[in-house]
Chains A and B, each alone.
Chain A
Amino acid sequence: MASVRLESITKCFDDKVALSQLDLEIEDQEFFVLLGHTGAGKTTTLRCIAGLEKLDQGDIYFDNQPMTELDPASRDVAFVFQSHILYPHLTAFENMAFPLWPRKLPEIEVKRRVQDVAEMLHIEHLLWRKPAQLSGGETQRVGLGRAMVRRPRVFLMDEPISNLDAKLRAEMRTEIKWRQKQLGITTLYVTHDQIEAMSMADRVAILDQGKIMQIGTPIEVYNQPANIFVAGFIGNPSMNLMTCRLSESNGEIYGQLIGHLQVALPETIARKGIAREEVWLGIHPENLVIHPQEEDNTIVVEVHNYEALGAETIVDVNLGLDETDQRVTMKCRIPPDQQVRVGQTVWLELQACSIFDRDTGQAIKSV
């Protein structure tokens, strides 16, 4: 129960920069997710906050108290690791009591607290088992209980559920989010799985190569990606990204995709980029509508492939070849009842888009 502030923290391993000048502010009781690919610096950030890694530069504060020089034991955080969560030589009960032992609580108090948390997580019947006798989900629950039993100032979770199978993961997502809200403990949660990030986070920070790409609510990062990295990372399938030349005629702004293929762009968004010759165009698959006949403001394309996923269908459409003779395709998300065939000629309508600077890749916010 503390706010966490990172002030331009930098961490290098040997000569490799893991985190560079990272700033982050996490509010009290917030569920904050760090999202990024493997090696983006998410886990390093978490380990720095816990004090398991010494910073090369920068400072860490909990509630404005400087933490940078404190050792892990004095920071009062709880860390849930991805694997090796429980000590194999201790029972579930002992594992949960383990963080309480160095605090010299009376035996009865330790017992009561473990019992309370165990009841909360419905694991009372598992307390006397050794980790080897627990299933994956049970292990994860006990691990969570181990973190909860101490009521730390901050929870740090490093991909705690990525080793579980899909169904259990979905269950644990709900469980963790619910417990966090119930306890009101500030939580930093690291994951590479955007579904986890989107479904659990109050706010999410997207990391790449030790730098923060964007911070915002899940909806913000989805709808208004700050740059082409975020645009290409968030969403499944992610935004269609391609460079495009902008031109204006009759008060409408057109984007020239490849060759002579032109598409009318939403005025308010495209207007900001009109001063630039070329921009990155980002389009969410659901913002592309497929029509079987020609309509206003559509372009003609060919169905290259499609995946009927049940609740939706993802269609790859072929726009043609670019200057370097590479095939240019886009992914569209269409309702499952709409029929398409491979090779079929269809008309594509663009309903919304984002634009990014051609060179910096940053979202263009104003003219």
Chain B
Amino acid sequence: METEPTEFNNPPRVGSFARTSTGLSDYQVKMVFIMPTMILLILMNIFPLLWSLVLSFYKYRVNRPDLPPEFIGFKNYVRLLSDPDMWGYFQTTAYFVVTAVSAQFLIGFGVALLLNREFRYKGLVTTLILLPMMLSPVIVGLFWRFLFKSDTSGLINYFLLPLLNFVQATPIPWTTDPKFAMVSIVIVDTWMWTPFMMLISLAGLSAIPKYLYEAADVDRASNWFKFRWITLPLVSPLLMIAILFRTMDAFKMFDIVYVLTREGGPGTATETVSMNLYKLAFRSFNTGKSCAMAYILLIVIVALSNIYVKYLNQLKREA
């Protein structure tokens, strides 16, 4: 029943081929595409985690293959949870997380307010400030150890010299004194991650429509009023995300402590949970106990990240 239009010079009909199967079905494609991820995650995450779960009920040292694992039930867990030092490590971690994240938040938001205007080289300035968070934390930590040198040859102490002379103090032993070690870790982490807070704050700030401020100007609103009733409410959801991200990240911080204060020193002044776990597993090779501790930590993190992902999803739905 074809009527050929003249323009087509009667081409052969190519569409009428009757193929019933054309390659993989959608279901097959879905499976083939997801499988590699699942296999890898099962092999590299689920399986080892199950293995270590089993080992957490044993007394076992991986560096002593001659000693067979000895089943001790929940003893590892009981010992860990009743160990006062353990709570100390959690406290150290909490102290670090709270101070570092608050500092990063306040400074980052401040810098974002500062940068949220037009000026020359804005793009360049922003990119330069953002660089530190892309660097390797351990390398950053290492180099700050150089800047923090405890005599006046350290750049930080050198800059502080006029101030130190004024209060008649000696150069500060940043990383080697229990009083200052945690402060120096907070400073380095803040230097590194303030850009992260700034980046997200800046995204929130630049998304606020200009006409809101113009309308407020017409109403002769004060700067504080505009900040309190326009800026803050509109950026706060993004700030929440930023704080949650940083909290999760700070909680597992390891690299900077490892290198800046030499594995949590001096003494245990900066020994965070991650650091302690590392020592337990790879310094004293208390493998069974370290597996138990890893599980305690895992439960804490999963609980935290669950709250966090729920919040993220809710935020996405609103966006």
Partner of B20, one of A29, A74, A103, A151: A74
Contacts from B to A (Cβ < 8 Å): 1-3, 5, 7-9, 11, 13-22, 25
| Mask of A1-33 contacts with B, CB within 8 angstroms, 1/0 | 100000000000000000000000000110000
Q: Which residues of A contact B7 (CB under 8 A)?
A: 116, 119-120, 182
The answer, yes or no, to whether A184 is at the interface (CB within 8 Å) is: yes
Known contacts being A120-B7, A183-B5, is A76 close to B16, with CB within 8 Å? yes
> What CA separation (Å) do A337 and B16 show in the bound complex?
58
| Mask of A92-121 contacts with B, CB within 8 angstroms, 1/0 | 000000001001010001000100100110
A152 to B15, Cβ gap below 8 A?
Answer: yes
Question: In the complex, how many residues of chain A place their beta carbon closer than 8 angstroms to a beta carbon of chain B?
Answer: 24
A74 to B2, Cβ gap below 8 A?
Answer: no
Q: Which residues of B contact A105 (CB under 8 A)?
A: 14
Minimum CB–CB distance for A183 against chain B, Å: 6
Known contacts being A105-B14, A150-B15, A151-B11, is A73 close to B22, with CB within 8 Å? yes
- Which residues of chain A from 113 to 147 have a CB within 8 Å of any chain B CB? 113, 116, 119-120
Partner of B8, one of A1, A76, A151, A152: A151
B3 to A151, Cβ gap below 8 A?
Answer: no
Partner of B9, one of A73, A76, A116, A153: A116
B3 to A113, Cβ gap below 8 A?
Answer: no
A151 to B15, Cβ gap below 8 A?
Answer: yes
B5 to A116, Cβ gap below 8 A?
Answer: no
B interface secondary structure, majority: loop
Q: Which residues of B contact A294 (CB under 8 A)?
A: none
B5 to A184, Cβ gap below 8 A?
Answer: yes
Known contacts being A105-B14, A153-B15, is A1 close to B5, with CB within 8 Å? no
> What CA separation (Å) do A105 and B22 show in the bound complex?
18
> What CA separation (Å) do A361 and B152 show in the bound complex?
93
Given contacts A1-B2, A120-B7, A183-B5, 19 further A-B contacts (CB under 8 A): A29-B1, A69-B20, A70-B20, A71-B22, A71-B25, A73-B19, A73-B22, A74-B19, A74-B22, A105-B14, A109-B11, A113-B11, A119-B7, A150-B15, A151-B8, A151-B11, A152-B15, A182-B7, A184-B3
Q: Which residues of B contact A70 (CB under 8 A)?
A: 20
> What CA separation (Å) do A183 and B2 show in the bound complex?
9
Q: Which residues of A contact B3 (CB under 8 A)?
A: 1, 29, 184
> What CA separation (Å) do A288 and B64 show in the bound complex?
102
